[in-house]
C-alpha cells in the first residue's frame, strides 16, 4: 500500500497526540462560548481551507484505503460546520440589528458580494446549493457507499480463498499474504464506515436548511419586536446575514460531499483521478474527431456563437490529431535488419545430442503471451515463485523449468513433462479468469465451463469484468497464469521424489558438511553408500515428508545403518526420528489427533500376510476381495473426515505402514499413513473411525 508523503514528520506530530483532541475541544467550545466576529472570520476561513485540502487529497489519492481516516475526517468537519452555525447564529441574533457586518467580514462578503446584496437571489442560490448537495451528490454517494459495503463484505470469502491459492502456489510469501488479508479487512471496514459517514453529510444538509429557516424567523422576530426595526429593515439585515452564514457553511459542505462521492465511486488503480481521466477518457482519437466535427457543424449554423464553437472544434481536432499520431508511432513496427547470408552447414557432433529436461512446460501458440515478459506475461515470475516455495518446503533445489512453444498442441493447451514424460496437461483461456467453486459458492456465472486442473474442482472461465461479482458469490477467482502455476506446483509436489537424484543429494550433504563435517564424513561412504541415502530421501519425498532437516536424517541413518542397509527399513527409522515434524505438518499444533485405525481382526490378517511374505522372501500383497473391501471402507471414512474439515490419517503398526502407504497412495491421495512410533508422547490420539470393524 502506498502512503502519502507530507512535508512534516507525521510520526513526530502524531506522537504528541494533541491535534485532534484540541480541535474537538475547540469545536465543542464554540457551541457554548460566544465568539467575536474576528474569530468567526478565522474559523470560517479555516473551514473552507480544510474542505479544499480534503478535496484535493482525494483527487491525488490513488487508492481509497490511502485515506482510511476519511470517515473520521468527515465527522469532524461536519461537527466543525455545525459548531460554526451555532456560533454565527448567536452573533447574528444578538447583533444583527447593527448592520450587515455584525457577524464578521466573511459572512458579510458572502451576503453582499456573492449574491449582490439581494436576499431573494441569496435564497435561490442557497436553495440550489441545498438541492445539489442533498438530492444529487449526497444521495448518490450514500447509495454507492451502501452497495460498495455490501459487495465488499460478500466478496471477502472469495478474496481470502484467492490469497490462500496464491500462497499455496508459491506466488506470494507469508508476509505478503498477511498484508493482503489485512488490506481486505481494512477495505471492508472502510466501506462500512463510509456507508455510515454518508449519513453525516445527509444530516448536515438537512440541518443547514432548518438552521436557515430558524435564523430568518428568529431574526425578524428579534429585529421587529425587540429592536423596533421595520419589517423591511429587519428582513434586509437578518436575511442577508443568515444567507451569508448559510452560504459560508454550505460551500465547504458541498466540497466534502463531493470528496466523499469521489472516494466511494472510484476504482483502485495505480493512477490518481487526473491521470485516469487523461488515459481513459481521451484515449480514443475517433471520439475527439467526431466531437470536433459536430462542434464545427454547429459553429456554421446561423445565429450560433461562431467564435466559441469553431475555436473549440479546432482545439478538439488538433488534440485528436496529435493523439492519433502518438498512438501510430507507438504501434508502428520497428524496421527489421536484413537476414545475414546462411552459414555453411556443419557436421553433427555430440553437442547435438540434447539432454532431457528435468521439468518441461510446453504451451500452445495462444499461451505464448503468458510467458513473454515483453507482452506483460507473468507466468515466468509465477513459476519462479513456485520453485522458491517448494525449495524451501521440500528442502532441496527444484530444477529450473524449461518452457517452450509446441505448435502440435491446441492453441489453448499446455503440457507439463518430467524427464521428457508427460505428467499433466490442460486447456486454459488466457483472456479470461477462472472462477473455482470450492463448495462454498452460490449462484451461476456466465462463461465457459471447465475444471481446475490441479484439484479437479468445478470451475467457470469468466470475463475479467465479472471478477468482483464472482468473488461476491463465493468463488475463488484466479487468472490464467496462476492456474498454470498452481497446477505445476501440485505436480511438482507429487513427483518431488523423482527430481532428487545423486547430484542433489551430494549438494545436500556438502551443505551439511559446513556445519557437521564429522557426521557427513562418517556417513558417506564409510557407513552407507550414496545410493542408499538417495533412496531413503526419495522414499520420504514420495510420502510428502520434507528432507529440509537433513541433519536429523543423517544422524538417524548413521545410528541405524549398523542394523540394516535396506532403504525401506532405514526409511522407517528416519520417519520415527522425524515423527514430531511429520505430525505437525499434518495436524498443526493440535494436542489431540483424530485418526483412523485398523480393527484388531483386520490387523491380525495383515500381519499374517506380511509374515508369510517375509518367510517366503516375497512381496506382501492383498487378496483381491479383501483389498476391495478395505478400499471402500477407507474411501467412505476419508470422505467423512474431509466433510468435517479434519485431516485424513490412518494409524497402523510400524511394519504394516509401508504396505498400507503404498496401497492408499494412488487410491486416496488425501490420506496419510503414520506408524504408532511416529506419534510424539505428548500427543493424545482420538480414534474417529475403524477399518474392518
DSSP state of 453: T
457-472 mean pLDDT: 90
Residue 411 has pLDDT above 50, yes or no: yes
pLDDT in tens, 604-622: 888 887 777 665 555 556 6
Q: Which residues pair with 402 in a beta bridge?
A: 360
DSSP state of 360: E
Evaluated on CA atoms 491, 494, 498, 499, the torsion sign reads positive
Sheet bearing 592-598, strands edge to edge: 672-675, 649-652, 592-598, 684-691
Residue 597 has pLDDT above 50, yes or no: yes
Evaluated on CA atoms 470, 475, 481, 483, the torsion sign reads negative
678-685 mean pLDDT: 92
pLDDT at 10: 45
Determine the topology of domain 500-577 in CATH: Helicase, Ruva Protein; domain 3 (1.10.8)
CA angle, 344 as apex, 339 and 347 as ends, to 5°? 135
pLDDT in tens, 332-350: 555 555 555 555 666 777 7
Q: Which of 273, 219, 280, 215 is nearest to 249 (CA)?
A: 215
Helix axes 240-265 and 70-95, enclosed angle (nearest 10): 180
Q: Is 604 helix (H, G, I), strand (E, B) or coil?
A: helix
pLDDT in tens, 40-90: 888 888 888 888 888 888 877 777 777 777 788 888 888 888 888 788 778
pLDDT at 257: 80
Torsion of CA 651, 655, 660, 662, to 10 degrees: 130
Q: What is the full DSSP assignment across 78-92?
A: HHHHHHHHHHHHHHH
Q: How far apart are CA 320 and CA 83, in angstroms?
A: 50
Alpha carbon separation from 488 to 129, 171, 393 (Å, rounded): 60, 12, 15
Q: How far apart are CA 298 and CA 10, in angstroms?
A: 54
Q: What is the pTM of this model?
A: 0.57
Q: How far apart are CA 291 and CA 18, in angstroms?
A: 54
pLDDT at 87: 82
Q: Is 662 helix (H, G, I), strand (E, B) or coil?
A: helix
290-306 mean pLDDT: 81
Torsion of CA 567, 572, 575, 579, to 10 degrees: -170
Spatial CB neighbours of 89, under 8 Å, sequence gap ≥ 6: 211, 214, 215, 245
- pLDDT tier at 271 (50, 70, 90 boundaries)? low
Sheet bearing 401-405, strands edge to edge: 401-405, 359-363, 413-418, 421-427
Lowest mean pLDDT segment, chosen from 80-84, 428-432, 553-557: 80-84
Residue 569 has pLDDT above 60, yes or no: yes
Contact 89, 215 (CB under 8 A): yes
Residue 548 has pLDDT above 90, yes or no: yes
Spatial CB neighbours of 377, under 8 Å, sequence gap ≥ 6: 369, 370, 371, 481
Residue 568 has pLDDT above 80, yes or no: yes
Q: How far apart are CA 561 and CA 571, in angstroms?
A: 11
Q: Which of 133, 136, 122, 135 is nearest to 256 (CA)?
A: 133
Q: How far apart are CA 65 and CA 190, in angstroms?
A: 7
Q: How far apart are CA 353 and CA 333, in angstroms?
A: 37
- pLDDT tier at 247 (50, 70, 90 boundaries)? confident
Lowest mean pLDDT segment, chosen from 137-141, 155-159, 611-615, 683-687: 611-615
The CATH class, in words, for 586-693 is alpha beta
Q: Is 333 helix (H, G, I), strand (E, B) or coil?
A: coil
Q: What is the full DSSP assignment across 192-261?
A: HHHHHHHHHHHHHHHHHHHHHHHHHHHHHHIIIIIS---HHHHIIIIIHHHHHHHHHHHHHHHHHHHHHH
- Average pLDDT over the chain reads 81
According to the 3-state scheme, what is the secondary structure of 375-424? HCCCHHHHHHHHHHHHHHHHCCCCCCEEEEECCCCCCCEEEEEECCEEEE
pLDDT at 226: 78
pLDDT in tens, 159-202: 777 777 777 666 677 778 788 778 877 777 777 777 777 777 77
The CATH class, in words, for 355-496 is alpha beta
Sheet bearing 458-462, strands edge to edge: 448-451, 458-462, 433-436, 476-479
pLDDT in tens, 352-395: 677 788 899 999 989 989 988 888 888 988 999 999 999 999 99
Q: How far apart are CA 546 and CA 392, in angstroms?
A: 9
289-300 mean pLDDT: 82
500-522 mean pLDDT: 92
Alpha carbon separation from 24 to 280, 300, 511, 626 (Å, rounded): 41, 60, 63, 79
Lowest mean pLDDT segment, chosen from 37-51, 132-146, 393-407, 494-508: 132-146
pLDDT at 88: 79
pLDDT at 395: 93
Most confident among 6-20, 57-71, 123-137, 370-384 (mean pLDDT): 370-384
Residue 577 has pLDDT above 90, yes or no: yes
Instruction: Say if residue 458 is preceded by a cis peptide, omega within 30 of 0.
Output: no
Query: Which tops the pLDDT comparison, 558 or 275?
Result: 558
Q: Cα-flanking dihedrals φ and ψ of residue 594, to 5°?
A: -75, 120
Coarse DSSP helix, strand, coil percentages of the chain, rounded to the nearest 5 percent: 65, 10, 25
Amino acid at each position: 500500500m502506498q502512503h502519502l508523503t507530507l512535508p512534516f514528520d507525521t510520526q513526530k506530530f502524531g506522537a504528541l497526540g494533541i491535534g485532534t483532541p484540541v480541535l474537538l475541544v475547540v469545536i465543542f467550545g464554540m457551541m457554548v462560548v460566544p465568539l467575536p466576529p474576528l474569530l468567526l472570520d478565522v474559523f470560517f476561513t479555516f473551514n473552507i481551507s480544510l474542505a479544499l485540502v480534503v478535496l484535493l487529497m482525494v483527487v491525488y489519492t490513488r487508492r481509497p484505503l490511502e485515506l482510511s481516516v476519511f470517515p473520521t475526517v468527515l465527522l469532524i468537519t461536519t461537527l466543525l460546520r455545525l459548531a460554526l452555525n451555532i456560533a454565527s447564529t448567536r452573533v447574528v441574533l444578538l447583533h444583527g440589528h447593527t448592520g450587515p457586518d455584525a457577524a464578521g467580514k466573511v459572512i458579510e462578503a458572502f451576503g453582499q458580494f456573492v449574491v449582490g446584496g439581494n436576499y431573494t437571489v441569496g435564497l435561490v442560490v442557497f436553495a440550489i446549493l441545498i438541492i445539489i448537495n442533498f438530492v444529487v451528490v449526497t444521495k448518490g454517494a450514500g447509495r454507492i457507499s451502501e452497495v460498495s459495503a455490501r459487495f465488499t463484505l460478500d466478496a471477502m470469502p472469495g478474496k481470502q480463498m484467492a490469497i490462500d491459492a496464491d500462497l499455496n502456489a508459491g506466488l506470494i510469501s507469508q508476509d505478503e499474504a498477511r498484508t493482503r488479508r489485512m488490506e481486505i479487512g481494512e477495505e471492508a471496514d472502510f466501506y462500512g464506515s463510509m456507508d455510515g459517514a454518508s449519513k453525516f453529510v445527509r444530516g448536515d444538509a438537512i440541518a443547514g436548511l432548518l438552521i436557515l429557516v430558524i435564523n430568518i424567523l428568529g431574526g425578524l422576530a428579534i429585529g421587529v419586536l425587540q429592536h423596533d426595526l421595520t419589517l423591511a429593515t429587519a428582513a434586509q439585515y437578518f436575511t442577508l446575514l443568515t444567507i451569508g452564514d448559510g452560504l459560508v457553511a454550505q460551500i465547504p459542505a458541498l466540497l466534502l460531499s463531493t470528496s466523499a462521492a469521489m472516494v466511494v465511486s472510484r476504482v483502485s488503480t495505480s493512477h490518481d483521478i487526473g491521470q485516469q481521466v487523461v488515459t481513459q477518457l481521451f484515449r480514443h482519437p475517433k471520439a475527439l474527431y467526431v466531437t470536433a466535427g459536430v462542434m464545427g457543424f454547429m459553429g456554421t449554423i446561423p445565429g450560433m456563437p461562431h467564435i466559441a464553437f469553431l475555436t473549440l472544434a479546432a482545439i478538439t481536432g488538433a488534440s485528436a490529431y496529435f493523439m492519433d499520431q502518438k498512438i501510430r508511432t507507438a504501434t508502428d513496427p520497428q524496421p527489421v535488419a536484413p537476414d545475414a547470408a546462411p552459414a555453411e552447414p556443419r557436421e553433427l557432433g555430440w553437442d547435438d545430442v540434447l539432454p532431457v529436461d528435468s521439468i518441461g512446460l510446453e504451451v500452445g501458440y495462444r499461451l505464448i503471451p503468458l510467458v513473454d515478459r515483453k507482452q506483460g506475461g507473468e507466468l515466468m515470475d509465477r513459476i519462479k515463485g513456485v520453485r522458491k516455495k517448494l525449495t524451501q518446503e521440500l528442502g532441496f533445489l527444484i530444477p529450473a523449468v524449461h518452457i517452450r512453444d509446441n505448435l502440435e498442441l491446441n492453441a489453448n493447451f499446455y503440457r507439463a513433462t518430467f524427464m521428457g514424460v508427460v505428467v499433466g496437461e490442460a486447456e486454459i483461456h488466457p483472456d479470461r479468469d477462472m472462477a473455482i467453486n470450492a463448495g462454498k459458492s452460490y449462484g451461476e456465472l456466465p462463461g465457459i465451463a471447465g475444471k481446475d486442473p490441479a484439484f479437479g474442482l468445478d470451475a467457470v472461465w469468466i470475463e475479467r469484468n465479472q471478477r468482483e461479482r464472482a468473488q461476491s458469490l463465493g468463488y475463488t477467482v484466479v487468472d490464467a497464469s496462476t492456474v498454470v502455476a498452481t497446477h505445476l506446483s501440485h505436480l511438482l509436489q507429487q513427483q518431488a521424489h523423482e527430481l532428487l537424484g545423486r547430484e542433489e543429494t551430494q549438494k545436500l550433504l556438502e551443505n551439511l558438511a559446513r556445519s557437521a563435517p564429522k557426521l557427513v564424513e562418517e556417513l558417506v561412504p564409510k557407513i552407507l553408500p550414496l545410493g542408499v541415502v538417495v533412496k531413503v530421501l526419495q522414499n520420504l519425498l514420495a510420502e510428502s515428508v520434507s528432507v529440509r532437516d537433513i541433519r536429523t536424517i543423517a544422524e538417524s541413518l548413521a545410528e541405524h545403518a549398523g542394523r540394516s542397509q535396506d532403504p525401506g527399513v532405514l526409511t522407517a527409522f528416519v520417519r520415527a526420528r522425524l515423527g514430531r515434524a511429520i505430525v505437525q505438518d499434518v495436524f498443526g499444533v493440535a494436542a489431540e489427533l483424530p485418526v483412523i485405525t485398523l480393527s484388531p481382526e483386520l490387523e491380525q490378517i495383515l500381519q499374517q500376510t506380511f509374515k508369510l511374505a517375509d518367510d517366503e522372501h516375497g512381496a506382501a500383497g492383498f487378496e483381491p476381495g479383501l483389498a476391495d473391501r478395505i478400499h471402500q471402507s477407507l474411501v467412505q471414512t476419508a470422505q467423512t473426515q474431509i466433510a468435517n474439515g479434519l485431516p485424513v490419517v490412518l494409524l497402523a503398526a510400524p511394519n504394516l505402514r509401508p504396505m498400507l502407504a503404498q496401497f492408499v497412495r494412488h487410491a486416496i491421495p488425501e490420506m496419510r499413513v503414520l506408524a504408532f512410533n511416529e506419534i510424539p508422547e505428548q500427543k493424545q490420539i482420538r480414534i474417529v473411525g475403524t477399518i474392518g470393524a
